[in-house]
Chains A and B, each alone.
Chain A
Amino acid sequence: MREDMTERGHIMEKVHMDREQYPELLRKISSPPETLYCIGELSCLSERCVAVVGSRKATPYGRNVAFRLGKRLAESGVTVVSGMAEGIDAEAHRGALEAGGRTIAVLGCGPDICYPKTNRELKDRIEREGLIISQFRPGTEPRPYHFPLRNRIISGISEAVVVVEAGMSSGSLITAESAAEQGRDVYAVPGNINSLSSAGTNRLIKDGALPLVTVDDILWDMKIGSKAEETGSQSLGEDEMELYGLLRKHGEMTIDEICDMLLEPAEKVNVLVTLMEMKGIVFTGLGRVFISV
Chain B
Amino acid sequence: MNSKVNTGALRGIDGYLVTVEADVSRGLPASNIVGLGGAAVKESIERIKAAVENSEFQYPLKRVVLNLIPADVRKEGSHYDLPMAVAVLMAAEQVRPADGMRDSALFGELTLAGEVTGIRGALPLVLCAVERGAKNIIVPEDNMGELDLIKGSNIFPVKTLRQAAEIIEGKEGAVAGQGGRKNQGGKEGTEGNDIEEPEDFKDIKGHENIKRAMVISAAGGHGILMVGTPGSGKTMLARRMPTIMPPMSYDEKIQVTKLYSVAGLLAEGKSIVEERPFRAPHHSITVPALVGGGRVPAPGEISLAHCGVLFLDEFTEFDKKVLDSIREPLEEGMIAVARKAGRVVFPSRVVLIAAANPCKCGYLGDPVRKCTCTQGEIASYAGRFSGPILDRIDMHIRVGSVKYEEIGSRGGTSSEMMKSAVMRARAVQERRYTGSRLYFNSQLSGKLLEEHCALDGKGERFMKDVYEKTPLSLRGYHRMLKVARTIADIEGEEGIRVEHLMEAFQYRMLKEYERKR
For residue A245, which residues in chain B have a CB less than 8 angstroms away from its CB? none
Tell me if B129 counts as interface (CB < 8 A to partner A).
no
Q: Name B500's closest neighbour in chain A (CB-CB).
A: A271
Residue interface mask A256-293, B partner, CB < 8 A = 1: 10011000011101110111011000011111100000
Contact A278 B462 (CB under 8 A): yes
For residue A197, which residues in chain B have a CB less than 8 angstroms away from its CB? 370
Tell me if B466 counts as interface (CB < 8 A to partner A).
yes
CA distance in complex: A255, B15 (Å): 51
Contact B487 A284 (CB under 8 A): no
Tell me if B208 counts as interface (CB < 8 A to partner A).
yes
Residue from B213, B502, B511 in contact with A274 in the complex, judged by beta carbons closer than 8 Å: B502
For residue B503, which residues in chain A have a CB less than 8 angstroms away from its CB? 267, 270-271, 274
Tell me if A87 counts as interface (CB < 8 A to partner B).
yes
CA distance in complex: A255, B379 (Å): 25
Contact A267 B207 (CB under 8 A): no
Scan residues 446-487 of chain B and give those whose CB is less than 8 A from a CB of chain A. Answer: 462, 465-466, 469, 487
Instruction: Name the interface size band of chain B.
Output: 35 or more
- Give the segment of B133-141, B186-194, B270-278, B361-369 that binds chain A: B361-369
Residue from B211, B212, B375, B507 in contact with A57 in the complex, judged by beta carbons closer than 8 Å: B375
Count A-B contacts at CB 8 Å.
86
Contact B206 A256 (CB under 8 A): yes
Tell me if B209 counts as interface (CB < 8 A to partner A).
yes
With contact pairs A255-B209, A259-B208, A287-B365 given, residues A270 and B398 touching in the complex (Cβ less than 8 Å): no
Tell me if A195 counts as interface (CB < 8 A to partner B).
yes
For residue A31, which residues in chain B have a CB less than 8 angstroms away from its CB? none
For residue A288, which residues in chain B have a CB less than 8 angstroms away from its CB? 365, 400
For residue B511, which residues in chain A have a CB less than 8 angstroms away from its CB? 283-286
Most interface-central of B213, B398, B465 (chain A CB within 10 A): B398
Tell me if B499 counts as interface (CB < 8 A to partner A).
yes
CA distance in complex: A205, B378 (Å): 29
Tell me if A235 counts as interface (CB < 8 A to partner B).
no
CA distance in complex: A192, B212 (Å): 29
How far in angstroms is the closest Cβ of chain A from B211?
7
CA distance in complex: A287, B506 (Å): 10
How far in angstroms is the closest Cβ of chain B from A277?
8
Contact B208 A256 (CB under 8 A): yes
Contact A270 B462 (CB under 8 A): no
For residue B228, which residues in chain A have a CB less than 8 angstroms away from its CB? 287
For residue A56, which residues in chain B have a CB less than 8 angstroms away from its CB? 375
Instruction: Name the interface size band of chain A.
Output: 35 or more
Residue from A86, A271, A277 in contact with B375 in the complex, judged by beta carbons closer than 8 Å: A86
Contact B398 A286 (CB under 8 A): yes
Tell me if A196 counts as interface (CB < 8 A to partner B).
yes
How far in angstroms is the closest Cβ of chain B from A144?
14
CA distance in complex: A260, B207 (Å): 10
For residue A265, which residues in chain B have a CB less than 8 angstroms away from its CB? 208, 212
With contact pairs A87-B375, A271-B499, A278-B462 given, residues A284 and B506 touching in the complex (Cβ less than 8 Å): yes
Tell me if A118 counts as interface (CB < 8 A to partner B).
yes
CA distance in complex: A31, B460 (Å): 62
For residue A57, which residues in chain B have a CB less than 8 angstroms away from its CB? 371, 373-375, 378
For residue A87, which residues in chain B have a CB less than 8 angstroms away from its CB? 375
How far in angstroms is the closest Cβ of chain A from B477?
15
Tell me if A214 counts as interface (CB < 8 A to partner B).
no
CA distance in complex: A137, B400 (Å): 48
CA distance in complex: A60, B507 (Å): 18
CA distance in complex: A277, B358 (Å): 23
Contact B379 A118 (CB under 8 A): yes
CA distance in complex: A285, B505 (Å): 13
Contact B505 A267 (CB under 8 A): no
Residue from A60, A195, A256, A286 in contact with B209 in the complex, judged by beta carbons closer than 8 Å: A256
With contact pairs A57-B371, A260-B206 given, residues A270 and B400 touching in the complex (Cβ less than 8 Å): no
Show 24 A/B contacts (Cβ-Cβ < 8 Å), sorted by A: A56-B375, A57-B371, A59-B365, A86-B375, A167-B370, A196-B370, A197-B370, A254-B400, A260-B206, A260-B410, A265-B208, A266-B211, A266-B213, A270-B506, A274-B505, A274-B506, A277-B505, A278-B462, A284-B506, A285-B365, A285-B511, A285-B512, A286-B358, A288-B365
Binding site for A on B (CB under 8 A): 206-209, 211-213, 227-228, 358, 364-365, 367-368, 370-371, 373-375, 378-379, 398-400, 409-410, 462, 465-466, 469, 487, 499, 502-503, 505-507, 511-512, 517
